[in-house]
Amino acid sequence: MSPPLNQALPSGQMLENYRIDRQISAGGFSIVYLAHDENGQPWAIKEYIPQSLAVRSEGRIDLNIPAEHQAEFQRGLNYFFEEARVLSGVNHAHIVRVVNFFRANGTAYMVMPLERGRAMQEHIRQHRGSLSEEFIITVFTKLLDGISEVHSSGLLHLDLKPANIWLRADLAPVVLDFGAARFAVDIGPALPRAMYTPGFAAPEQYHGNYTLGPWTDIYAIGACMYAAMTKAAPPAADARLQADDLQPARQRLGHLYSPRLLIAIDECLRLSPSLRPQSARALQTKIASAGSSGWPAWLRKFRHQFLSLQH
């Protein structure tokens, strides 16, 4: 049984000039709060608080970190703080923006704009029928533009999935939650407590046989596109290494989407890193070319809607 999630900071607690309103979400490594500054501006504040390493008891602000977890907690805290520093220098419309970061209460915090909208995961779940090719191309082209900027900063996301991709009201994507991120200059074997999501994590995230790199995030983006089209994640990569039961996108979805787009997805999901697109820009070019060939957008959309009704 998993241990209970840590106690959140209480409503009214001050963090520098931010007043905590309430908890928005919580996971294994962090808690996200809604807070307001002295001008009443709302912000999302993310607190580093790994559930397996630190404990905050009810009524306490500080953390209790057992001696045997001190070193690992500190290493993770350093990663979190450095991640915040790097993201604060990334100014891109499709990447969550870090406007402030600081240490307090024995841990660290990053302050981000409060995004309105919903997760892609929720959008996929609630959408009737299959998502249009125009939606896939538009959203993931923009997403890859942001991921390219992140990779240029030396950072890998390593946990891209529909739950971590936010869609604003105009359906523009924003990449959230860099909690699993690592620096490309610091890459080696998978960390003992590395976070990954089965179905979206690349094979190299399960073991140290391959080097992690931009191609690792490319696998996850291919899995996200596959999930957006089928409403289900691909089989987990570690299982695929034993017996690959993945039905290729071109075979499964050829009646709904263009061959170029489906081939790009199948290339992303190759088990060998060297066989995938090697950069976000390379994949972005492949996806964009799928939308610029063949029938015009309005006719592709009409065809897609018609075929969706038939299936």
**Model confidence at 161: pLDDT above 60:** yes
The residue count for the chain = 311
For residue 162, which of 128, 199, 137 has the smallest C-alpha distance? Answer: 199
Residues 6 or more apart from 186 whose CB is under 8 A from it?
Answer: none
**High-pLDDT (> 90) share of the chain, %:** 67
- Name the average pLDDT for the chain: 87
Give the position of tokens 């024995």.
106
- Supply the DSSP symbol for 3: P
Residue-wise pLDDT tens digits, 190-239: 554 456 789 999 999 887 667 889 999 999 999 999 999 999 999 999 99
CA–chain centroid gap for 298, Å, is: 30
For residue 89, which of 148, 46, 150, 29 has the smallest C-alpha distance? Answer: 150
What's this model's pTM, rounded to 2 decimal places? Answer: 0.84
At 302 the pLDDT is 54
How crowded is residue 197: how many other Cβ atoms within 10 Å of its Cβ?
A: 19
**Pairing mode, if any, of strands 155-156 and 30-36?**
unpaired
The topology under which CATH files domain 118-310 is Transferase(Phosphotransferase); domain 1 (1.10.510)
At 130 the pLDDT is 84
As a CATH number, domain 14-113 is: 3.30.200.20
Q: Return d(Cα 42, Cα 165) in angstroms, integer.
A: 21
* φ and ψ of 177, to 5 deg: 50, 85
**Model confidence at 306: pLDDT above 60:** no
User: H/E element holding 22?
Assistant: strand 18-26
Residue-wise pLDDT tens digits, 64-108: 999 999 999 998 898 888 888 888 989 999 999 999 999 999 999
| Encoded tokens for 144 | 């890859």
User: H/E element holding 108?
Assistant: strand 107-113
Show me where the domains of the chain are located: 14-113, 118-310
Residue-wise pLDDT tens digits, 266-287: 999 999 999 999 999 999 999 9
At 191 the pLDDT is 52
Q: Return d(Cα 83, Cα 101) in angstroms, integer.
A: 10
At 137 the pLDDT is 96
